[in-house]
Amino acid sequence: MTNYLINIIGPTAIGKTSLSIKVARHFNTEIISADSRQFFREMKIGTAVPEKHELEAARHHFIQHISIGDNYSVGDFERDANKKLEELFKSHDLVVMVGGSGLYIKAVTEGLDNFPEVDPQIRKNLNKRLEEDGIDWLQQKLFVLDPDYYKTADVQNPHRLIRALEICIETGKPFSSFLDQEKKERDFKTISIGLTADRELIYERINKRVDLMIENGLVEEARALYSKRELNALNTVGYKELFQYFDGGIDLETVISEIKKNTRRFAKRQLTWFRKDENIKWFKYDEDPQVIFDHIEEQINT
């Protein structure tokens, strides 16, 4: 019997959580989260972790399962998620995976790409340039060495920038040339469902979500984490802007505007990544769930 992974993707704030729960309940199954920001138990409000009633509506895995101080890589997630899938497929023919972290989704469904070893001194040099010249230098360097990857990369994340640049420098080849290598064989089939909307509506939903996060206590959550701001997990939209606010010299209204702007940019990069995948079936964010259920059943029965 064939096992199926229902992969629900789309930009942030589009409604993936709600749909994933409906799909899980309809097919009487469980959910794996592939949202790398929601892994951390200390970051609830700023990562839009599902509410208590949502977590109770369908069983979720990989939600707030590690701490911000833990060293947890995409490779670790690939291992853990596929182990969990193997376990879940013993009692379910179908499992749901949901998230907007393209690399983490790819790790589960296709496996990670293989990269060459890099001289540690290159990383040290890049980290030094980050300290001395800031993230702008890394961004400009990547734009020159690998403009294709620059278009889809999270260019606000220095860890990702340094990882790409060290490969470029070590090999003399673009980082993107090492991506999309031969896929690993999986013992399940993937059915990918994408949620989308007009850009203006996506941006409107993002702006409303950020306002709601502020109302729900994001400033206080970020303040409690301020002393650990150097951790890589906290170098993410919503927190890094508030850390600048705590440093002084910038008012809260401006910070909230920056969070909205950077989240909109993040959503744009998500869509750029996902639209490269021709196997995704796209639906409007407010599509009748029954239409999506029917599509899934049609794919299974084809």
9 is in an annotated binding site: no
46 is in an annotated binding site: no
Query: Which whole-number Å values give the CA distances from 18 to 14, 55, 59, 99, 103, in the listed order?
Result: 9, 11, 13, 12, 22
10 is in an annotated binding site: yes
197 is in an annotated binding site: no
- DSSP, collapsed to helix, strand or coil, labels residue 170 as helix
Q: How many degrees, rounded to 5, is the angle at CA 109 between CA 106 and CA 111?
A: 65
Question: What phi and psi values does residue 87 have, to the nearest 5 degrees?
Answer: -70, -45
13 is in an annotated binding site: yes
The number of angstroms, rounded, from the C-alpha of 285 to the middle of its chain's C-alpha atoms is 18
Residues with Cβ < 8 Å from 246, sequence gap 6 or more? 222, 223, 226
User: Looking up tokens 């702007």, which residue turns up?
Assistant: 261
C-beta of residue 23 within 8 angstroms of C-beta of residue 9: no
Q: Which residues pair with 31 in a beta bridge?
A: 60, 96
47 is in an annotated binding site: no
Distance CA 229, CA 157 (A): 14
| Residue 297 token pair | 């059943």
Q: Which of 51, 167, 178 is nearest to 112 (CA)?
A: 178
11 is in an annotated binding site: yes
Q: Which residues are annotated as a binding site for ATP?
A: 10-17
Q: Which residues are annotated as a binding site for substrate?
A: 12-17
Q: Which residues are annotated as a binding site?
A: 10-17
